[in-house]
Each structure stands twice: as structure tokens, then as C-alpha cells.
Amino acid sequence: MLTVPVRQLGESERRAVERLLDRDPYAGAQVAERVAARGLAWWRAEGRVLGYGPRRHVESICWLGGNLTPVLADQEAVAAFADLLGGEERICSSIVGRADAVLGLWERLSVAWGPARDVRPNQPLLATDALPAVPVDREVRQVRVGEVDTLFPAAVAMYTEEVGVSPLVDDGGRSYRRRVTELVRAGRAYARFVDGRVVFKAELAVVTRRTAQVQGVWVAPEWRGRGIAVAAMAAVVRDALLRVAPTVSLYVNDFNLPARRVYQRCGFRPVGTLATVLF
């Protein structure tokens, strides 16, 4: 029997959760953004925050919503979270977080929740707090609201290529288009346009007071190999550091060597390893 039970956390424990998230600002960025925006009250949050640790002392948490994300979960916490979640129907579309915790959860949950569509066990987590030392592409800029129609096909192409399924499948792309539009309106979507088409794009998909996390980096296939990615990515990093957050972070598949070289040239350094289980 587990001596330290998992419990659902409420607004009264928000300060404790925020202190814990500050200890892992990059791997826990998505959870930190949601907590900052919605708090922990079940009726306004987009998911549940489960806590592990003695009463009044939260040692680790696990976000359960569209994603399942453990934060600062050691082996004991992973076992406790899995013991609870294994008895519930899976509602998340992925498990993502520090590799040791994610793979530990999946080892325990795979029988009840499997099979997975894909398991990515080694995704370098990178961050930088320094302006890029390479020249930036001055044609990369924030996307305007009136340009969503032009950006959207590129966003769909990126998502399909990266995740392996089209975001148009479930509802014709309506929810994904809303997300793209939200990022554009918030000034968090970047692109380079050539002859009315997107040849490079990226978004600040997550923003906290500690970091801006870049996702959705994409270069149009016919522009790959021309050397535009470094300067384009440098433009995104520079703007994010000057305008949005004190650091910029991202994670990348270990097998994507061209992207890893781009990020290294833009000043990113390793700060850990994530893993993702996709359903």
C-alpha cells in the first residue's frame, strides 16, 4: 500500500505548486502557464493537478488534461501517480515531460492505456538566455491577424509532419485553427513570407515569467537546405528575449540532427531530456 497518497490539489495549494514549478522552469513550462492563467480551481482549470507528498508539503505534481505531464516526479511519485491513473480511462492525447518520469509512467500504464501510436524516449531539452551571436533574418516577423489564412496551411503541414497525424481529422481543423489564431493575436507567431507563402514559421507556444518555449518550427520543403533556418530562428530568439521572457527554451527529437545544429548555432544549451508518448 502506498504510504503517501496522491491527491487532487486546489487553489489553497497554489503557492506550493508555483514554488515547485519554479524549480523546473523548462520541463514544467506548459503546466506553469496553465496554472498562472487558470489557477487550480477545478471549475475553471483545463485539467486536474495531482499532488504527491505529505499533507502541506507537495513534493511533485502531475498535470492531467489534454496532456499528462509529471513535474519533479521521482520513482516513488511515478509509482503513486500510475497507481491512481491506471484505474481511470485515458483522456490525454500524450504523456510528455522529463524522460525518466514519462518512461516510468508509461512502463506502468501501458497495459491499461496502450498501445501508443509513438514513443519518443530521447528529446533534448534546450534553453538560452543570450542574444544569438549569428545574424538574424530581418524578414522574419510577427504574423498579423489578417495573415492567419496564409499561415494556417503551413501550420497544418508542420503538425502533420511532426506528430504523424493531421490536425484536421477530428473536427475539420476548427480547434487547431482557433489555437493558431490565438497565438497570432497574442503576438506569439512568427513567419517569413515569400511571394505570399510561408517559407519559415515558429511560435512561442508556451510563455511563463521564466521562459518562452518555442514550438512549431518549420521550413517549407522547397526551402530546406538553403541555409535560412539559422538566421530565421535567431530572429525568433532575439525578439522573444527582448520582448517576452528572460529565457527561450524548446525540445527536439534526438534524431533531428539538422534542427539540433540550427539550435546550437543560435546559442541553445542542453538543460535536460524529455520524452513523449503519443496516442
**Residue 90 confidence (pLDDT):** 96
Lowest mean pLDDT among 95-109, 158-172, 177-191, 211-225: 158-172
CATH of the domain at 195: 3.40.630.30
Q: Is the pLDDT of residue 1 over 50?
A: no
Distance CA(12)–CA(69), nearest Å, equals 21
Domain match, 208 and 251 both = yes
Q: Which three cell numbers stand for residue 220?
A: 517549407
Q: Averaged over 70-96, what is the pLDDT? A: 96
Distance CA(16)–CA(34), nearest Å, equals 15
- Write down the mean pLDDT value for the chain: 95
Q: How confident is the model at residue 45 (pLDDT cuts 50, 70, 90)?
A: low
Q: Is the pLDDT of residue 4 over 80?
A: no
Percent of the chain with pLDDT over 70: 97
Domain boundary among 81, 115, 149: 115
Distance CA(175)–CA(164), nearest Å, equals 18
8 Å CB contact between 88 and 109? no
Residue 76 lies in a domain: yes
Domain match, 152 and 89 both = no
Does the pTM surpass 0.85? The reply is yes
Q: Write the pLDDT tens digit of every residue in 227-268.
A: 999 999 999 999 999 999 999 999 999 999 999 999 999 999
Q: Is the pLDDT of residue 191 over 70?
A: yes
Render the burial of 28-63: b for 16+ CB within 10 Å, e for the rest.
bbbbbbbbeeeebeeeebebebbbbbeeeebbbbbb
Residue 51 lies in a domain: yes
- Which residue type is seen at 195? D
Count up the domains in the chain and report the number. Answer: 2
DSSP tag of 47? S
